[in-house]
Structure 1
């Protein structure tokens, strides 16, 4: 007997979003300072001699001007080493780091440092080296140096901000461009353990991304910098172009850093240009993420498919009728579904929960025979996959496709549609301008998989080396069978028994979230423009069938969980307040401060179906899957547009 349970539950401490979203508390050190002449003169002594050498400066300027994918630079041995060692010691001994986690990052961060100059003497005396370092970085000497080598223009001497971070195993920061408020140059000063080499396989690298067009980063990393003690990386903040992330730390070591920004000159400062900040903010990625033009580059498209007229006729009922399951329907459903879910008692129980909560979980959804065979094949695939799990976009082979762009989402999926070229701006524009009349066909996709298997079997040499080598073919075929099942009339009738909703349109996706790669950032329901909404309910019926064969996901530490959150009380942070937040927190621009905001939580699991009816007030995301995860998160994601039967809003 399957467990049928209400899904309206609270997240555990590892996955809670109640205090992990942006709060209105200032957490990075946004400071207004005015340094004395003595501090300015002393600042030069804190840098290594080579940094201020004219030839070094010219060479660095040339290197930055020729750098790709956008202008960026790095300096090794930036500061006096003894000073920086003392700064690191102060960070460890005097600063309290708090774990912060949202859909875009996991990091341990300092609390509110406020203006170091304004701290009481008793507190400031405990951070003397941090105070010296701050003074050196924001000195006129170093600001002029950064301005010259980057060619960015003047930098503010009174508006500064920085934060202290430590990345330990599992910590990460996903793709973003840093464009918030008056930021002009971003920098990261690295403080891993001195005297030790931070190796590339440790993770924690700064990774830079090229772009397809402005505000649309590519999915693959262009280049990366492996951080070392006393090394700084910096780049000009460029709206829609300066995309980067912090690779997940993969080892039990601390990757400490001091991170901050130089700002556009403020009123009264040399270089101030009225209206310059406003122009920058207008080009912010946060302002343009949901623009119609940029949505052209979103894959997969949120595209609901009209059901054939014959299906609509069979699914339609009058006010006095009920859509009953026939014996043929039950016979077909029993090939896939746990038989106990087809009884009148179970359907009534599910319906009562869904009617009350609009959310319901069904455990052990697939029948024993089907799920046992599928799980065996999926486990075998994850252990002996040939070719290996795709890492780069070029390695993702049809019928699988890569979701993007990478500052919104990344995972691989099958949608039942023909092969598409999503690698260049030209090919994407062509796809979007040529209207396709093809409907998704997982049956046709299944045939393509079978043909590929016949044409490209596992080479004999591979079999000799690894007798257990397994292609994705058998798993893909079974997943396509399930996708076809979700598109069947019989399943839509079963849905009606559970939800009371009549299906008019559908979209079905088979998804795989790969360890160390994939996620979906928090998004609202994206209603299709131009469709007749008079016959549709204001919202969609979503279902996720979790098919993750590996274990170890229960506590959420490896990510892969799907969250639904009420956004009714959230408000977009006004532009003028964005600069009160550090880079990480400002990247999440929706706040959610109440425990009650969590509608449902779906951990990566095996054979569990989650159903939810959601409207525009509900945000959803799938947390980044950690490199440490044993395997991928697999699921089948379904969305249906449902009939508006003319009932009033409250009843709907």
Structure 2
């Protein structure tokens, strides 16, 4: 097996070098055809017999086979043995393509096209299969000695891949205002056309890319590979390794990274006990059951057992209905109805009337309400939703009354006002990655309070079909469409970019607790410094956007014995 003769010409390689260097937002190139249709079909036929394991973390979801580098090594060993020389055996298509990508001919092609310099003989190869709903979030591929990334697409050759099927390789420009971070929106999309090879150099803080969620019924099949530098010091831009996206992720998971500067809150004085004035303010927002001291005692008992509690039907019904109707209207205006024709939404959808895009995308992407500017329209669904939720955040979540109420529910003393923020996660676009609270001290703890709104049983009118209500709630509960808050234990082993061969999370233990999107529910979770938190990528198949008010209050962690750890982790896992 060999690549197309067209790529052997010296003059053609010179043309490809210019095309590669002129690629935007960073140098890249696509070669097509690469193997030819016969070679492509032979590999596809054998892949149907190969087992693939589903991989899912905060960063990705897809199926992946074994590393074919091991297959390549085994084939080479067999070829060199006397017995192998005596008995001729036709190589399989997978062995042949593994040898091709590990050959000197292929390395020479890549070196001439990219100008990458010396390469070692090491090659990593694995097949990835993206079915409907699969995705890979923004990153730069910088791990170990990787120097060149290449993707050979083995999608169905019977019909050209279309944009509506999703699965595009997205290329992100660097953010000029923040070194080492990608801009929020990609500027180039490469569709996974069959028998094409995409190539780019692996460079920290530069080679930002992602795979858009697959939306069609056909699988996005590719062979993902990396060529390596002879040593770590010979990787591209070695002096900027601290800008690698994985290193930034690891920093946030260690509590050292900050996405943006945050104002340090002054510690609060003793809050005192709940008063009649507190109950009066709380009754303006909360359902009557949560203004009953006996109910709060029951919540406190549940919370003490597991370090978290989910309070259903939290807001007054009329207020919850108002927010739900506004969210439904916003989704309709943005084209997010379940039967909408737009299967691959645009990243600027919903950026209006006070809603701003939050990034950078290798750490998070969602909309946050910052308030309507003077003179803007206030009667739009977007403005109504934002203003109502902002009132909740400012008048309830940041109030002394609510802090005292939280203490009654959890037995914890809030030491800050939580910086409540109004967020919206759009289907097919938004998420956060696993991280600790920015700047969280080793012995500190935080009490998360998240009030969620989404399409589901309690947000639907009684006149609506029961199957619509049930289907929406079942989708959220299944976790198949994402949108859930996940808490998991941090890996205490020393982690660096050089130590990682896969993005963290692929082979770790399961989460401590997942909290699906439940309409009009308040989730209270205490997490210590050893607990990570993320909101799973929201699939385009989700029944609606997820809107929430999220606040994190500093608290004094309760004393624990040597056998008991603090936070949601150990209690929830027990």
TM-score (structure 2 length as normaliser): 0.83
Q: CA deviation at 1:526?
A: 2.1
3-state DSSP class of the match of 1:554? helix
Q: Counterpart of 1:627?
A: 540
1:275 & 1:58 partners in 2: Cα distance? 23
Deviation readout 1:464-488 (Å, 9 max, x if unpaired): xxxxxx5322222211221121112
Q: Aligned partners of 2:262, 2:408: CA distance in 1, in Å? A: 26
Mapping of residues 457-468 of structure 1, within 5 Å: none
User: Given that residues 57 and 506 in structure 2 are in contact (C-alpha distance below 8 angstroms), is that contact kept between their aligned partners in structure 1?
Assistant: no
Q: What are structure 1's unaligned runs of at least 5 residues?
A: 1-42, 267-271, 318-322, 416-444, 458-469
Distance apart, 1:340 and its partner CA: 1.3
Q: Does 1:495 align with 2:406?
A: yes
1:587 aligned onto 2:503: yes
Aligned match of 2:469: none
Structure 1 residue 210 and structure 2 residue 173: aligned? yes
1:57 is matched with 13
CA–CA separation in structure 1 for the residues paired with 2:226 and 2:212:
20
Distance 2:286 2:113 in 1: 64
Which of 127, 137, 146 is matched with 1:164 structurally?
127
* Residue of structure 2 equivalent to 1:106: 61
Question: Could you tell me how far 1:89 is from its partner in structure 2?
Answer: 0.4
Conserved in 2, the CA contact under 8 Å of 1:543 and 1:611? yes
The answer to whether the Cα contact below 8 Å between 1:341 and 1:347 also exists between their aligned partners in 2 is: yes
> What per-residue deviation string (whole Å, max 9, x for no partner) do you get for residues 526-546 of structure 1?
2268xxx9xxx7111111111
CA drift of 1:137 comes to: 2.1
Summarize the Cα distance change of 1:274–1:220 in structure 2 as closer, same or farther, 3 Å threshold. closer
Query: How many matched pairs?
Result: 526
Retained in 1: the 8 A contact 2:356–2:368? yes
SS of residue paired to 1:571: coil
Are the equivalent residues in 1 in contact too, given 2:407–2:413 (CA < 8 A)? Answer: yes
Whether the 8 Å contact between 2:336 and 2:427 is mirrored in structure 1 is no
Pairing 1:295-334 to 2, within 5 Å after superposition: 298-299=259-260, 301-303=261-263, 305-306=265-266, 312=268, 315-317=270-272, 323=273, 325-334=274-283
Distance in 1 (alpha carbons) for counterparts of 2:60 and 2:90: 30
Provide the rounded CA distance (Å) in 1 between the counterparts of 2:234 and 2:217: 48
**Whole-angstrom CA distance in 1 between matches of 2:89 and 2:58:** 37
What is the Cα deviation at residue 494 of structure 1? Answer: 0.9
Describe the superposition over 1:544-573 as per-residue Cα deviations: whole angstroms up to 9, x where unpaired.
111113523221111111101122x54245
Q: Residues 345, 219 of structure 1: CA spacing in aligned structure 2 closer, same or farther, 3 A cutoff?
A: same
Determine if contact 2:355/2:386 at 8 Å carries over to the other structure.
Answer: no
- Residue 463 of structure 2 corresponds to none
Q: Residue 234 of structure 1 aligns with which residue?
A: 199
Please tell me whether residue 353 in structure 1 is matched to residue 269 in structure 2: no
Number of the residue aligned with 2:112:
148
Moved more, 147-156 or 495-504: 495-504
Give the match for residue 426 of structure 1. none
1:86-137 Cα deviation digits (max 9, x unpaired): 0110001x20112111110010111354233416979x97971111112122
* Equivalent position of 2:431 in the other structure: 519
The offset of 1:356, in angstroms, is: 2.8
Change (3 A) 1:487 1:288: closer
What displacement does 1:154 show?
1.5
Further displaced range: 372-381 or 220-229: 372-381
Q: Tell me the equivalent position of 1:481.
A: 391
Aligned Cα root-mean-square deviation (Å): 3.3
CA 1:210–1:283 in structure 2 vs 1: closer, same or farther (change >3 Å)?
closer
Which residue does the alignment assign to 1:542?
Answer: 448
Change (3 A) 1:118 1:385: closer
**Cα distance in 2 between the residues matched to 1:202 and 1:230:** 17
Aligned positions of 1:445-464 closer than 5 A: 445=371, 448=372, 451-453=375-377
- Is the contact between residue 90 and residue 130 of structure 1 (CA under 8 Å) also seen in structure 2? yes
Q: How far apart in 1 are the matches of 2:385 and 2:71?
A: 57
Taking the aligned partners of 1:96 and 1:291, their CA distance within structure 2 comes to: 34
Shift of 1:575: 5.3
Q: 1:555 aligns with which of 478, 489, 492?
A: 478
For residues 129 and 287 of structure 1, the distance between their equivalents in structure 2, rounded to whole angstroms, comes to 37
Return 237-246 or 642-651, whichever deviates more.
642-651
Q: Does 1:639 align with 2:555?
A: no
The answer on whether the counterparts of 1:573 and 1:589 sit within 8 Å (CA) in structure 2 is: no
Q: Which residue of 2 aligns with 1:373?
A: 322
- Which of the numbers 238, 245, 248 marks the counterpart of 1:285? 245
* Distance change >3 Å, CA 125–CA 66, structure 1 → 2: same
Does structure 1 conserve the Cα–Cα contact (< 8 Å) formed by 2:347 and 2:429? no
8 Å CA contact retained: 1:385, 1:471: no
Alignment deviations for residues 202-252 of structure 1 (CA, whole Å, 9 cap, x no partner)? 111111000114420011011011121110001011111000011111111
What is aligned with 1:81? 37
Confirm or deny: 8 A CA contact 1:381 1:471 kept in the other structure. Answer: yes
In structure 2, stretches of 5+ residues that fail to align are 79-83, 457-471, 567-574
2: distance between equivalents of 1:47 and 1:276? Answer: 26
Which whole-Å CA distance do the structure 1 matches of 2:405 and 2:477 have between them? 29
Aligned to 1:606: 519
- Is 2:386 the counterpart of 1:413? no
